[in-house]
A and B are shown apart, each in its own frame.
Chain A
């Protein structure tokens, strides 16, 4: 409660003082630091770890045999190497599409149904926890996506093209906001995603807990809302464009330290 009061006070201060725009960013950084010992993402992480170990679904199985790329059941370090090529599905998959595969094959869930489920509903709620915990198991590790497989390289090239793809009523692409250093929308700093934007910035910060909405957002949800604001039609959950963008941003972030699940305004 005390923390919440402090938070509100700081937020109020941020809004009231018409100082230089950058100082607001500083204040937000300060307030993030204040919350660092109590990031609500921890609750999602705890839930995710339990979900991983709990027998669920039509097959009443846990996810403990799920192969996230480093072998069945290996979670540590998996997140910073995703998306990657998986031989058993013959696809490049990100964390979330890989979890769908595991939920279907090990637990008997219907992956297509879960992909169609709106964010924050049904099994999508469980994915929030799972992605929070799995990403947290790689916290502090550096991104190092493989480009060894031809499909991984192809996805990078396609992701790059998706990134610069202009369309919609506003003619926007991802690059409209994320291809230059030190730019803002209103007061919100924009990461430059055509190169390594730095430790814990951009790709290295999602999933994240968003204080403004009180929600845990995965990378898929982050991309979904980017496309909404880009005035594009609706990208399917784990659709090819989202995977390709993940590869493009992930490879660009090589060497960046993951802070996921991060805390956002």
Chain B
């Protein structure tokens, strides 16, 4: 009886305590409010850049942790469906032009005059080792040195090379096709680089004649 009364009293107390705790703040709403109230347009960088698609929303919320498998798969599937293969079926351009683009870290900031693809570099060396000669490379992405050679690419136009070539094109076009929260920009999908520029970057890492594959 006594025991019963105590547990009853405890239950009443618990309920009372729960009722007194203020509801947790709605951080998603507060974050949206904070972001929209903190930024303004400047040059080519408009506030619409704060809008997130489903992928960026999910990956922001995950705070660099892995997404649940089902969610990751659906984001990747969606990303994969956006990829456009080159219209003329040619994937490989000039590795020399590719090297220039890889070195070029410009584009899309509010101090850049134009958002046209012609005004953009690939920013590749900011995050990747690529050619052995360039020692000033970042380490956020994996090394791409010997990218083609390590994958046994002797003729990028051959049928045998096709799967690797298409994989690489897809990675450049929309990196989220293979990794929902990839840190790499979606160069084709986001309109950062055009087909010709992407072909030059393809050549840089896949052409057997490129210094990357020596």
Binding site for B on A (CB under 8 A): 18-19, 21, 154, 157-158, 160-162, 164-173, 175-177, 179-180, 182-187, 190, 227-229, 231-236, 239-242, 244
Complex contacts, B135 vs chain A, CB 8 Å = 18-19, 21
Nearest 4 interchain pairs by C-beta: A234-B42, A241-B38, A239-B38, A170-B185
Q: Pick the contact of A21 from B51, B63, B126, B136 — CB < 8 Å?
A: B136
A185 and B60 form a contact (CB under 8 A)? no
Assembled-state Cα–Cα distance A228/B49 (Å):
12
B32 CB to nearest A CB, Å? 10
Q: Pick the contact of A229 from B55, B109, B138 — CB < 8 Å?
A: B109
A159 CB to nearest B CB, Å? 9
Q: Is B56 an interface residue (CB 8 A)?
A: yes
Interface membership of chain B positions 126-156, coded 1 if the CB is closer than 8 angstroms to chain A and 0 otherwise? 1100000001111110000000000000000
User: Are A167 and B109 CB-contacts (below 8 A) given A235-B38, A241-B34?
Assistant: no
Complex contacts, A244 vs chain B, CB 8 Å = 34
Assembled-state Cα–Cα distance A168/B42 (Å):
13
Q: Is B7 an interface residue (CB 8 A)?
A: no
Q: Is B167 an interface residue (CB 8 A)?
A: no
A-B contact list, 24 entries, CB within 8 Å: A19-B135, A158-B34, A161-B27, A164-B60, A165-B60, A167-B49, A168-B45, A169-B191, A171-B55, A177-B140, A183-B139, A184-B137, A186-B126, A228-B111, A232-B50, A233-B41, A233-B46, A233-B49, A234-B39, A234-B110, A236-B39, A239-B37, A241-B38, A244-B34
Q: Is B86 an interface residue (CB 8 A)?
A: no
Assembled-state Cα–Cα distance A127/B51 (Å):
33
B94 CB to nearest A CB, Å? 24
* Residue in chain A with minimal CB distance to B62: A164
Q: Is B25 an interface residue (CB 8 A)?
A: yes
B38 and A169 form a contact (CB under 8 A)? no
User: Are A234 and B40 CB-contacts (below 8 A) given A167-B52, A168-B49?
Assistant: yes
* Residue in chain B with minimal CB distance to A230: B109
10 extra A-B contacts, CB within 8 A, seeds A162-B34, A183-B139, A185-B127: A166-B59, A167-B50, A167-B56, A168-B49, A175-B63, A186-B126, A233-B40, A233-B47, A234-B110, A240-B34
Assembled-state Cα–Cα distance A21/B134 (Å):
10
A233 and B110 form a contact (CB under 8 A)? yes
Complex contacts, A185 vs chain B, CB 8 Å = 126-127, 138, 140
B135 CB to nearest A CB, Å? 5
B52 and A233 form a contact (CB under 8 A)? no
Interface range, B side: 35 or more
Q: Pick the contact of B186 from A171, A182, A228 — CB < 8 Å?
A: A171
A173 and B40 form a contact (CB under 8 A)? no
Q: Pick the contact of A234 from B35, B45, B55, B63 — CB < 8 Å?
A: B45
Complex contacts, B192 vs chain A, CB 8 Å = 169-170
A232 and B139 form a contact (CB under 8 A)? no
Q: Which of B187-208 contact A (CB under 8 A)?
A: 190-192
B176 CB to nearest A CB, Å? 8
* Residue in chain A with minimal CB distance to B135: A18
Q: Is B16 an interface residue (CB 8 A)?
A: no
B39 CB to nearest A CB, Å? 4
B31 and A158 form a contact (CB under 8 A)? yes
B108 and A170 form a contact (CB under 8 A)? yes
* Residue in chain B with minimal CB distance to A187: B136
Complex contacts, A179 vs chain B, CB 8 Å = 64
* Residue in chain B with minimal CB distance to A236: B38
Assembled-state Cα–Cα distance A187/B134 (Å):
11
Assembled-state Cα–Cα distance A169/B120 (Å):
12
Assembled-state Cα–Cα distance A187/B56 (Å):
28
User: Are A169 and B110 CB-contacts (below 8 A) given A154-B30, A234-B39?
Assistant: no
Complex contacts, B40 vs chain A, CB 8 Å = 233-234, 236
B41 CB to nearest A CB, Å? 6
* Residue in chain A with minimal CB distance to B175: A171
Q: Is B95 an interface residue (CB 8 A)?
A: no
User: Are A228 and B31 CB-contacts (below 8 A) given A167-B50, A177-B140?
Assistant: no
